[in-house]
Amino acid sequence: MFDVGVSPVQRRHVIYVSGYDPRGAQGYFDLFRRTCQRFERLWPVSARLKPIEIASEDFAHWGVALYGPNWRTVTHCDFLRLETCIRSDMEKPTGWQVLRGLGWIGADLLSGAMFRIFAASWRFALHLLYFQSLLLTWVAARLARSQTGRNWIAVRDMEIAATVMGVPVARTKLYAFAISSFYCGIAGALWAFCYLGTVEPAGFDLAHSFEVLFIIILGGLGSIRGAFFGAALMVVFPLLLSRFANSVLTTALDPGQQENIQKIVFGSLIIVFLIVEPRGLASLCKSFERRLRQWPFRG
């Protein structure tokens, strides 16, 4: 028998939001006490739980000491209620929330926090990227439906006609370059820190630029949904083609020939889309949805 001593005190913060989980500080303390009792029955340890101390309506704390044959651990648990802070943030206007979210995304990328999150837990990082992608997609959709988005479409279709209609062409182009640079910067940072794991010139070669261009052409120009369709096609189709070649044509094709076939197929698809449907997969999806709505009423 020997005594290791008391390990460093660990602080655990329990965040409580009223209405979502209406336990309160006393409810969480009772749950913690039952868990300690169950833990004592399963393992050869003894738990000494200190009584709860409720300092205010939003803060409480308690302590627990675990004893084993040759070790001892003391833990201090803090209960923090964030209902007031969350309600005050939710009452602020939507524009302020969006700007705060964009600032949070930029801070994570510039400080390298996103890279550290991926290195620690890639599953949590994927969930984080999911919400960031939703926020950026929502901002892009709102811009596309706003006056700025309509100005972009007018300048893209015919600059002279847009000038005659009173559209500020120079300012519209400046907005287009600034906002697109912002999105490209975020995409490049995510590509470097989260996918490649480093920043080097080889990660941003000409082939990758052409791949992004193919995504836009296949998905559909000027379509937010088409960008997702094109990216899915560029990512999923090579995997399916590689699986098909490995399962059916095991000995007929080597990896170099498979890569050349992928390039030929992608080039053919781009030519077909430019000739048959220049607006890409997004336009095909809209046509399919329109025909699907009209199908039950056709004579």
Residues 109 and 183 in one domain: yes
Q: Considering 38, 65, 86, which residue would you say is the last residue of a domain?
A: 86
Q: Which residues contact 240 (CB under 8 A, 6 or more apart)?
A: none
72 and 103 inside one domain: no
Distance CA 27, CA 168 (A): 61
* Residue 5 is assigned to a structural domain of this protein: no
Q: pLDDT averaged over the chain?
A: 77
What percentage of residues in the chain have a pLDDT greater than 70? 86
Q: Are residues 244 and 283 in the same domain?
A: yes
Taking only the tens place, the pLDDT of each residue in 154-201 is 888 888 888 888 888 889 999 888 888 888 888 887 777 767 766 777
The residue whose two tokens read 């302590």 is 63
Claim to verify: residue 97 and residue 181 sit in the same structural domain: yes
Contact 114, 108 (CB under 8 A): yes
Domain that holds residue 54: 10-86
Final residue of a structural domain among 202, 220, 236: 202
Own/partner contacts of 93-99, CB < 8 Å, gap of 24 or more, are: 98/135, 98/138, 98/139
Is residue 135 over pLDDT 50?
A: yes
The model's confidence at residue 4, banded by pLDDT at 50, 70 and 90, is very low
Same domain? 211 vs 186: no
pTM: 0.56
10 Å Cβ neighbour count for 220?
A: 24
In a domain, 266, yes or no: yes
* C-alpha count within 13 angstroms, C-beta hemisphere, residue 77: 20
Mean pLDDT in residue range 87-99: 76
Domain count, the chain: 3
- Going from the C-alpha of 151 to that of each of 109, 156, 297, the distances in angstroms are 30, 8, 37
Any domain includes 250: yes
**Residues 119 and 210 both lie in one domain:** no
Q: What is the CATH number of the domain that holds 21?
A: 3.30.160
> If you average pLDDT over residues 8-33, what whole number do you get?
66
């080597």: which residue's tokens?
Answer: 254
Q: Could you tell me where the DSSP H helices lie in the chain?
A: 24-42, 83-90, 94-111, 113-120, 122-145, 147-157, 159-164, 169-190, 206-219, 224-247, 255-275, 280-294
The predicted structure's pLDDT at residue 225? 83
* CB half-sphere exposure, 125, CA atoms < 13 A: 17
Structural domain includes residue 4:
no
Rounded Cα distance, 58 and 56, in Å: 5
44: which DSSP letter?
A: S
pLDDT score of 9 more than 50: no
- Residue 18's pLDDT band, with cuts at 50, 70 and 90, is low
What integer is the mean pLDDT of 239-259?
Answer: 70
Q: What is the pLDDT of residues 23-71, one digit of tens each?
A: 778 888 888 888 888 888 888 888 888 888 888 877 888 888 888 777 7
Task: Mark which of 86, 107, 128 sits at the end of a domain.
Answer: 86
Tell me if 294 is assigned to some domain: yes
Closest C-alpha among 73, 72, 70, 71 to residue 1: 70
User: Which position has the higher pLDDT, 299 or 147?
Assistant: 147
